[in-house]
Structure 1
C-alpha cells in the first residue's frame, strides 16, 4: 500500500496543483518493526482495527493497545540556480500517537475503537528564494475508527470500520516581508472492509479494502513571483485514494513465523484542482499512476517472553516520471527496513520498541521554473514504543 496522500494547497505554480503530506502505516504499533509486513493478517493486538478490523476475532475478550512515535529524517531541496538561496533540509521532527480498544460482545461479535494519526507532515522551507510561495506548511489529521467484526465460523471472519477523519492545514509564506499564515480544517468520511481467513492451522490470510477519502481546505490569496501572478485555488482538495492490501502469515514452528503483503493504490484516478497562472488554468491528472506495495517480514520467539521482528517493504512511485515531481511531494520508489522487539511483562501485558528507516528515490522539480531543483536521496526514520494490555 502506498504511504502518501497529496495535500493540495495550490502552492505549486506552473505544472503542479498539489502539495503534500505523507500517508503512513507507521503509527507507533508493532507493524513499524515489520515494515508493515503481514499487517492485514497478523492480528496480534488491538491495532488490527486500523489494518484489518476482522482481526479482532482473534483477540482476547478486552484489549487495549497504545503507541508513541517520532519521525524525522532529511529531505534536502537544492535549487538549480546556484545564485539563489536553496531551502536545504525541509523536514521537521513529527510526533505521533495512537490508541485502540477491542471488546468481545458475544461469542461471535466483536467491537472496537481506534484513534490514530497516519496523515501528516510538517515542512519548513525557511527564508529561501521562494518564501513568497511557501515558507512552512503543516498538515495533521486524526482518525476515529469505530469498528465491528463477526466470526462466521472457526476459519472465516469479516470486519468493517467507519472512519471519521479530521484534518487541519496551515500555510505560512512571506507577504510584504512579514510571515502570513492561513489555516483551515475539514471533516471527511472513509470506510474499511476486511476479511480474515484461517487457511490451515499454520497459515492465515487477510484482505482489506479502504475507500477513498476527500478533504477540502480553503486557502485564499495570490503569490506574485517572477514571470507572473499565481492565483491559488479557493478550494484545495486532498484525496486519499482507494486501496487494497492482501497479507499472509505462516507459522513454520512455534518459534518462527514469516509474513508478506501485496498492495495497490488507485493513484491514477487522483484528480487535481486547477491553479490559475496569468489567467491560464492548469490541470495535471496525467502526472500520477497506480502504485504497488510488497513486503516480507519474520518473527522469532526465542523464549515465551520475547518476540523479535524484522521486515522490508517496497512501494512504487506514484509519478510517471521522477524528472517532473511536485515540489512539496518529494517522493518516488520507497524502501523500508524495520526491526524491533516485544517483551511479555506479565501474562496480560506486553511492551515493544521499533525502529524503521525509509529511503525515497531522488527526484527533480521543473516548475515553477524559477525555483526548479532536485531532492537527492531523501530519507526518513521512525522510532516508536507500544504497549498492550488484555483483561
Structure 2
C-alpha cells in the first residue's frame, strides 16, 4: 500500500506537467501567441504587447499606451506507444484542451509602468483508456496551476529598464490509477483517486537593455515556488479479506518545489522589415531528485502501517533549451514570424513514467500579426512539435510480497500541433 500511495502522490506533486504543451518537463509555454510565432526565441528581449509581463517584466516600460491582451492556445497531441508490455497501450492520453491568458499594462509616468497578468504556467490533462496496460502506474491526471502576477517596471534611462512582479500561484489536481486486486486475496481492480491543492508564492524579475539602436538584450528570472499540497486519497473497489480494509478516504500531504529558470535572449533589427531573435533558457530541474509523501490515517494490517514518509527518485537533471526565430514586417498592417526551438527532457529513461512520457523536443512555429488600425492587433500562431522516442520502463510494486501494481514498459513516439490566437487593444 505504501507503493500505491506513492504513485498517486508523486503524480500530484508533479501535476504541473503539461505532457504535450510547447514546453518540456513541468513547464508550459502557452502564455503569449505573439511570442509563440517565433518559438519564443526573443521572449526576454522583444516587446510586442502586454504579454511581455511574463516574458520580461522590464519590457512594460517600453509600452507607450495602456493596453489589454488576451487569448488562448490549444494543443492537439498524437501519442503512439510501441513495444508495450501489456495487453493494450491505446487511448486518448492527452485530450484536446485550451490554455487561456490575459494581461493589462499601463504607463504611470515617463519612467514607471505597471501591469497585471493572469496565466497558466503549468497544466496536465491525460486520460488513458480503462484497459491501458500501464493503468496501475497512472490512468487519469487533471492538474493545473493558475498564476496572478502584479508587476512594476522602471525605465532607468533611455536604454535600460528593469521590472519585478510577485506571483500568487494556485495549484489543484485530481489523479486516478488502479490496483490489481487479484494479487492480494481478491478479484477485479481497486480505484485510487487523489485530490489536493495549495497556494504558493514566488516572483519574476527582469532587465532589458538596448545595447544599440538595433540590438536589444534581455534577461528574466522566474523564481522557485514552494508548495505543501493538502488533500485526500479515496480508495474504492477493494475486496477480499485484505484489500477491503483500505476502502475509504485518508488525509495526505507532500512538499514540492517548482524549479527556478533563467531566460535570456537578443533581438537584432537588420532594417525596418527584418528582425532576428535568439534565446536560451536554463531550468534547474535538478531540484526534482525525489518526492517525499506523508499518508495519515490508513489502517494497520499484518503489522504494516503505511503512513510513514515514503519517497521515490526522479533524478531529473538541469537543462538548457535554445530557440532562434525571425519576424518580417510586410507592411504597417502585417508582420510575419517563424521560429525553431530545441527543448531537451529533464527525465532519463530509467526514471520516466507513464504520466510524464516526454522526450527531447524539436519545435517549429509560424505566426502572423495583423493591425487593422493603431488600436487593435490580432496575432495567430501555429506550432508543430516532434519528440525523440521516449522509453518508459516502470517496475511492479509489491504489498505483502504480492505484485499489486504490475510493471509497464513501452516506447512513446509523440508529436503535437499547437494553435494560438490573441487580441491586443490599446487605449
In the other structure, the counterpart of 2:65 is 61
Paired residue secondary structure (1:11): helix
1:309 aligned partner: 337
- Structure 2 distance, partners of 1:195, 1:10, is 41
Answer yes or no: is the 8 Å Cα contact 2:128–2:135 preserved in 1. yes
For residue 279 of structure 2, the aligned residue among 257, 261, 265 is 261
Change (3 A) 1:330 1:146: same
1:233 to partner: Cα distance: 9.6
Residue pair 2:268, 2:277 contacting (<8 A) in 1 also: yes
Q: For residue 372 of structure 2, give the secondary structure of its aligned residue in structure 1.
A: strand
Please say if residues 253 and 293 of structure 2, whose CA atoms lie closer than 8 Å, have aligned partners that are also in contact: no
In the alignment, the residues of structure 1 paired with residue 140 and residue 317 of structure 2 have an alpha-carbon distance, to the nearest angstrom, of: 28
The 2-side partners of 1:18 and 1:332 are apart by: 17
Partners of 2:336 and 2:369 within 8 A in 1 = yes
1:291 and 2:319 aligned: yes
Partner of residue 121 from structure 1, selected from 108, 124, 130: 124
2:391 to 350, 356, 364: 364
Which residue of structure 1 lines up, in the alignment, with residue 143 of structure 2?
139
The aligned runs of 1:167-206 (5 Å cut-off) are 167-174=171-178, 181-206=193-218
Q: State whether residues 123 and 136 of structure 1, in contact with CA within 8 Å, keep that contact through their aligned partners in structure 2.
A: yes
Partner of 1:3: none
CA distance in 2 between partners of 1:317 and 1:36 (Å): 17
The number of residue pairs the alignment matches comes to 379
CA distance, structure 2, for counterparts of residue 236 and residue 78 of structure 1? 34
User: Could you tell me how far 1:335 is from its partner in structure 2?
Assistant: 1.2
> Are the counterparts in 1 of residues 81 and 413 from structure 2 also a CA contact under 8 Å?
no
Tell me how far 1:25 sits from its aligned partner. 1.4
Instruction: Show the 5 A alignment for 1:1-391.
Output: 10-11=6-7, 21-22=17-18, 23-77=27-81, 80-82=84-86, 84-128=87-131, 129-131=133-135, 133-174=137-178, 181-217=193-229, 218-220=231-233, 234-274=252-292, 283-285=311-313, 287-319=315-347, 321-369=348-396, 370-391=406-427
Decide which moves more: 47-56 or 59-68.
59-68
- Kept in 2, the 8 Å contact 1:146–1:162? The answer is yes
Structure 1 residues not aligned, in runs of 5+: 1-8
What are structure 2's unaligned runs of at least 5 residues?
A: 19-26, 180-187, 295-303, 397-405
| Alpha-carbon distance change, 305 to 103 in structure 1, aligned in 2, over 3 angstroms | same
SS in structure 2 of the partner of residue 192 of structure 1 = strand
User: Contact (CA 8 Å) 1:45, 1:59: kept in 2 or not?
Assistant: yes
- Contact 1:192/1:211, CA 8 A, preserved across alignment: yes
Higher gyration radius (CA) = 2
> How far 1:137 sits from its partner (Å)?
1.0
Partners of 2:9 and 2:424 lie apart in 1 by: 47
Give the C-alpha shift of residue 80 in structure 1: 3.1
d(CA) in 1 for partners of 2:287 and 2:135? Answer: 31
TM-score using structure 1 length: 0.87
C-alpha displacement of 1:29: 2.0
Partner Cα separation in structure 2 for residue 322 and residue 110 of structure 1: 46
Using a 3 Å threshold, how does the CA distance of structure 1 residues 298 and 33 change in structure 2: closer, same or farther?
same
> More deviation in 45-54 or 183-192?
183-192
Give, in whole Å, the separation in 1 of the partners of 2:356 and 2:344.
14
Q: Measure the CA separation in 2 of the matches of 1:334 and 1:238.
A: 25
Distance in 1, Cα, partners of 2:29 & 2:136: 33
Q: CA deviation at 1:289?
A: 0.6
* TM-score between both structures, scaled by the size of structure 2: 0.80
Distance 1:38 1:125 in 2: 36
Residue 5 of structure 1 corresponds to: none
Cα shift readout 1:72-124 (whole Å, capped 9, x = no counterpart): 21233456324x23244411111111111111111101000001112112000
Alpha-carbon deviation of 1:215?
A: 2.9
Which residue of 2 is the match for residue 6 of structure 1?
A: none
CA contact (8 A) 2:350 2:393 kept: yes
